[in-house]
Structure 1
Amino acid sequence: MPAADFANKQPYVSLSNGQKIPQIGLGTWKAGPNEVGNAVKAAIEAGYRHIDCAAVYSNEHEVGQAIKECINRGIVKRDELFIVTKLWNTCHARDKVFEACDISLQQLGLDYLDMYLMHFPVPMAYTGPTKPDLKEWIPWDAEKKLVKFEKSPLHETWAAMEELVHKGKTKAIGISNFTIPVLIDLWTFAKILPATNQVECHPYFQASTQNNAARRELRELCKKFGIPVTAYSPLGSGKQGPLQDPTIKAIAAKYKKTPAQILLRWNIQHGNVVIPKSSKAERVKENMSILDFGFSPEDMQQIDELDRGFITCDTREYWHGFALFAV
């Protein structure tokens, strides 16, 4: 599909504030230096208009340079883009929320964000405004065995994010990695509803919790609250992930698509936003070629039944045993 056609025809999802977000975006997690900029340029050239970033990815500056280049070349206008970035855990105190947002805007070279997400509902001790890589963003104790947390209540952090909307720093605010209990808590006091809940979601892990009884209920609760789900890591990861699943491969052969396209289409057909990460131009184009087909109810059911609690982003790996998604 030509870039102009994709940009004009791709589906959008309505947000609680009246905005519309492109349903297919580019993720930039784990995209290294001199890689992420090329990926962003390739995506925008191919017709992508939704770019997902985060302070903790430590690549916002390169993403911003790529966006600027595309705007200067006349490929796209700023108001045609939907740029998302995220508040890191160490910046949950009110003044740090403002500082972190300003730094992200500076790094990206933007006057405003389309959406600003709370990356995790986990307040950690402040480590400074910016860090070169993920490991330095984590505040360890002296023995580097335990993460240091801080007392920044969720309602205070969210109130500060609401102020960012009133100040024009971002058009929308949202959440990421929120489980059912935390989402319900937020719902009780939020004056501005979260525009999305960004969670890991693919056929092997169908929502952000490892409790089998509650996994799909998170998606259902978001739907009830009018909060669209954004699926990160929609392809899973590793040799044991859904890309290698025999059912996925069989359905891919049936529809003459790749396994990756089947996984993305499954999320799209469930109404979720998807943000697959890719650093290769041909893969970027492949990921957007999912609008010319749809699954039968029987095939959707086959894929729905693949759920097995296989998680890619496991906080126990990054935070030494802290299992955020255990409830």
Structure 2
Amino acid sequence: MNTITLNNATKMPQLGLGTWKIDKANCADVIVAAAKAGYRHFDCACDYGNEKEVGEGLRRVMDEGIATREQLWITSKLWNTYHAAEHVRPACEKTLSDLGLDYVDLYLIHFPISLKFVPFEDRYPPEWFYDPNAAQPKLVPHPVPIRETWQAMEQLMESHLVKNIGVCNFGVSLIRDLLSYARIRPSVLQVELHPLLTQEKLLRYCATEEIAVTAFSSFGAESYYSLGMAQPSESLMKHALVQQIAQQTGRSPAQVLLRWAVQRGTIVIPKASSPAHLEDNAAIFDFELSGDQMQQLSDLNQNRRFNDPGDFCEAAFNTFFPIYE
């Protein structure tokens, strides 16, 4: 498995399994199947609602001798309701308990969005609404400086609950501000990246600051049809150029899109559930795209962001909440 060397010399697997939207009923089996297919990196989050099931799968992976804990890379994320300093450690400890682990390899701030705290005993994961039973449920912001949250994240590292810390869905301005006070620099930025959203300047900036980049939604629209956040006409898998390059290389459209991502130096975390798709997504390190093919794919850029709180928070959660503008 190819790795990316982080700014503290830690090696992170360049391919991982994204666990967003993996059904609880078969989640543990998917984790085991992925490990048997060679995956050692698993990308999780409190908000995905399946960390207990991921943990069951990880225990089986270790108990069956497929991989040791030291050979695994587990990422999780701090949810929006836990940004206050006093809530960061309990949130991390809850994730560790659900996963059945003593530490995670990477812990990320999930969004630069701070919402009103919801106690674990009231609802976990808390999701987006503060009170889903209200007459008009909505997001309830509770402003917490990112500095406060980051300092609590640093304490997680110092307590050996996490090995690395980073951020998700941050832009250059927020990262630059974070770097002005961080005692421990972020190791990783996780953001949406695919040929319709290439984010060239953000990648270049992260390279200069030695921050590794994980790409989510590498297939573009595919994960968002069921949520009403994308149309089938926006499919990259079925795009004529992607299909053409797949034919030229003798690979699947999914492999073409993932190869484009890893050839740019990013980490990828595609979601898959079937053994066939798991194996297909993993077979991306034994071929290369030509310079022309890479450029053709990058030229598809439309700055099309599918996972945008400025859109989905208003549509789904009755609250206008832009973060990228």
How far residue 146 of structure 1 moved from its aligned partner, in angstroms, is 4.1
- Correspondence 1:281 to 2:265: no
The one-character-per-residue Cα deviations of 1:68-122 (angstroms, maximum 9, x if unpaired) are: 0110011110000000000000000111001000000000000111010000111
Contact 2:215–2:267 (Cα < 8 Å) also in 1? yes
Report if the CA contact (8 A) 1:204-1:241 is conserved.
Answer: no
1:206 is aligned to 198
Unaligned runs of 5+ in 1: 1-9, 208-215
Task: Please report how far the alpha carbon of residue 171 of structure 1 lies from its aligned counterpart in structure 2 after TM superposition.
Answer: 0.6
Question: What number of residue pairs does the alignment pair up?
Answer: 308
Q: Give the whole-Å Cα distance in 2 for the aligned partners of 1:129 and 1:263.
A: 38
2:129–2:138 contact (8 Å) kept in structure 1: no
The DSSP-based 3-state class of the residue aligned with 1:230 is: strand
Shift in alpha-carbon separation, 1:146–1:138, aligned structure 2, 3 A: closer
Aligned 8 A contact 1:56 1:88 in 2: yes
Q: 2:165 aligns with which of 163, 173, 177?
A: 173
Matches within 5 A, 1:181-200: 181-200=173-192
Residue 267 of structure 1 aligns with which residue?
261
State the partner residue of 1:29. 20
1:256 aligned residue = 250
Scaled by the length of structure 2, what TM-score is found?
0.91
Alpha-carbon separation, structure 1, partners of 2:120 and 2:149: 16
1:24-63 alpha-carbon deviations (Å, 9 max, x no partner): 0000011121132222111111110000000011100000
Task: Quote how far apart the aligned CAs of 1:322 are.
Answer: 1.8
The aligned counterpart of 1:39 is 30
CA distance in 1, matches of 2:24, 2:137: 29
Q: Could you say which residue in structure 1 is the equivalent of 2:141? A: 149
Partner Cα distance (1:193, 1:276) in 2: 26
| Pair 1:234-2:218 in alignment | yes
Aligned-residue sequence identity (percent) comes to: 37
Post-superposition CA distance 1:129-171 (Å, at most 9, x none): 274566x443259553642111211101000000000000001
Residue matched to 1:97: 88
Assess if the C-alpha contact under 8 Å between 1:99 and 1:129 holds in 2: no
Is the Cα contact below 8 Å between 2:40 and 2:72 reproduced in 1?
A: yes
Partners of 2:105 and 2:34 in 1: how far apart?
18
Q: What amino acid does structure 2 have at the position aligned with 1:108? A: L
Q: Which residue of 1 is the match for residue 307 of structure 2? A: 313
Cross-structure match for 2:228: none
Inter-partner Cα distance in structure 1 for 2:275 and 2:302: 31
RMSD value, Cα = 1.6
Identify if the C-alpha distance between structure 1 residues 321 and 151 changes in structure 2 by more than 3 Å, giving closer, same or farther: closer
The 4+ residue runs of structure 1 with deviation greater than 6 A are none
